[in-house]
Amino acid sequence: MILLAGLLGLTAALYPLSQLGFRDSLQAVLKSFDIAVEQYARVSGTHWYELELTATDNLTLARVVCRCPVVGTWKDGLIVLHEGKPRAVGKSQTYSNLYPLTARLIAGEPLRVQSERIEMQGRTLRWLLGKIDQRRVYFLNGEVQTGKVDVGDGIDLYRPVTYSGQTMTLRYARAQELGPWLDLVAAKGELFVQFWLRPGEQPVFFDLGHDPPADPIPAELKPFL
């Protein structure tokens, strides 16, 4: 009877984990960052997710404890919002801002993603942001080429905006990360706007209008072409 009572108690304690599947149950118990990354790669775009995280800041060595919203993946790791700012979490000090000690992925409400493709030739980021309702949750991804030449310092470390030569790459960028580049005119390229919608939230009305794109070639340079 004692053995039976013990088995029944163990069964009741483990029942919630049985609903998750073996890998997800293991992740909940072990709080393994590797399992959290693999799990998010399988389920991204289906729900809002948070990462229950204990980590070390690679720059300051400060201990970071948070329940951070997850927005994407990055070089075998995750991109999270920590205190409102995008940070890369991973085991590489070269690529990541935060080194994970323990991590557990937590599912939230169902997520619906509305994606819009924008041809950026002759346009600026300021123009694009003017078309986006800033009250919505959104992220910008993609590449454009501009006339600006940059050395591309530290492009391996995650940043929402990076340069390599004349190519500007956006990875889960928002208005607050775009200040220095708002008025650069794109010579070519395209961006995708992801609007993240909660249950019951109406789709975004996204109208680019009929504004003609600007000429990406400065007038003073045209006589030399």
Six token digits for residue 198: 């909660």
**What would the mean pLDDT of 175-198 be, rounded to a whole number?**
94
Q: What is the pTM of this model?
A: 0.79
Matching residue, tokens 């889960």? 172
**Domains of the chain, with CATH numbers?**
18-110 (2.30.30.690), 113-224 (no CATH)
The partner residues of 165 in beta bridges, in order of sequence, read 150
Q: Which two tokens stand for residue 189?
A: 């390229």
Q: What is the pLDDT of residue 225?
A: 40
Tokens at residue 191, please?
A: 């961006």
The pLDDT of residue 27 is 57
pLDDT digits (tens, 9 = 90+) for 70-104: 999 999 999 999 999 999 999 998 889 999 999 99
Per-residue pLDDT, averaged over 156-176, amounts to 90
Exposure string for 188-213, b = 16+ CB within 10 A, e = fewer:
ebebebbbbbeeeeeebeeeeeeeee
> For residues 221 and 61, which has the higher predicted lDDT (pLDDT)?
61
Q: What pLDDT does residue 212 have?
A: 58
